[in-house]
Amino acid sequence: GEDVEQSLFLSVREGDSSVINCTYTDSSSTYLYWYKQEPGAGLQLLTYIFSNMDMKQDQRLTVLLNKKDKHLSLRIADTQTGDSAIYFCAETSWQGYKLSFGAGTTVTVRA
Amino acid sequence: ETGVTQSPTHLIKTRGQQVTLRCSSQSGHNTVSWYQQALGQGPQFIFQYYREEENGRGNFPPRFSGLQFPNYSSELNVNALELDDSALYLCASSPDTGELFFGEGSRLTVL
């Protein structure tokens, strides 16, 4: 199967770190992605990680991958109000022709 | 700005009708994929086209069909619309490097 699961909601105070978690079941996953979707908008690619890596950092974003446990996380440092959105975890296998998405985590940043 | 434009942005149809959604992607993006995103869910892969040929399909019935044209535009056609077809339809194009660029989507409501 290609199930991807995420927690549905996260509330965080402005300036704190946010951590969004994701688990997946497909052991042949090669790329894992984090997308951001703001209300009424399409999907914005935030970052991705190749399955032979365990960490990737890109400015305020840190992705951690535990391939043994099939667990992926996205940490957003110094969370801002503009980070309020739905965040989707997605994976693709070596075939590469489709992404399997989780249901999304709604992140609400409070002042 | 991803360079992927979709039309129309919103439309309303009645059950049993047919709909055509359009997508225009960047020059050089030989691959186009279509996704269906129902309210409160993650996007679900419909199908993918590469150089005008379908090369992957998700779990959608044959009444969902597509076309890709040499000018980097594409269409998603849905026949015999059902209420459950109400969703945001996302087009994503990619160059041969594989990164997906999503459009803002077409929101279809079936009454």
Q: Which residues of A touch B (CB under 8 A)?
A: 4, 31, 35, 40-45, 88, 90, 95-104
| Whether residue A94 has pLDDT greater than 70 | no
Q: Which of B41, B100, B103 sits opposite A99 (nearest CB)?
A: B100
Pairing verdict, β B106-110 and B87-94: antiparallel
Q: Which residues pair with B92 in a beta bridge?
A: B33, B102
Who's near A23: CB < 8 A, 6+ residues apart?
Answer: A4, A5, A6, A69, A70, A71, A72
Compute CA B73 distance to the chain's CA centroid, rounded to the nearest angstrom: 11
- Cβ atoms B29, B48 nearer than 8 A: no
Q: Choose among A43, A88, A97: nearest Cβ to B56.
A: A97
Which positions ≥6 away from B41 have C-beta within 8 Å?
A103, A104
**Is B42 within 8 Å of A88 when comparing Cβ atoms?**
yes
Test B45 with A43 for CB contact under 8 angstroms.
no
Rounded to the nearest angstrom, the minimum Cα separation between B104 and chain A is: 4
Please name the residue of chain B whose CA is at the shortest distance from the CA of residue A95. B56
Question: For A74-84, how does the pLDDT look when each residue is reduced to its tens digit (9 = 90+)?
Answer: 999 999 999 99
The predicted-structure confidence for B39-71, as pLDDT tens digits, reads as follows 989 999 999 998 899 989 999 999 999 999 988
Residues with pLDDT less than 50, chain B: none
Neighbours of B12 (CB within 10 A): 12
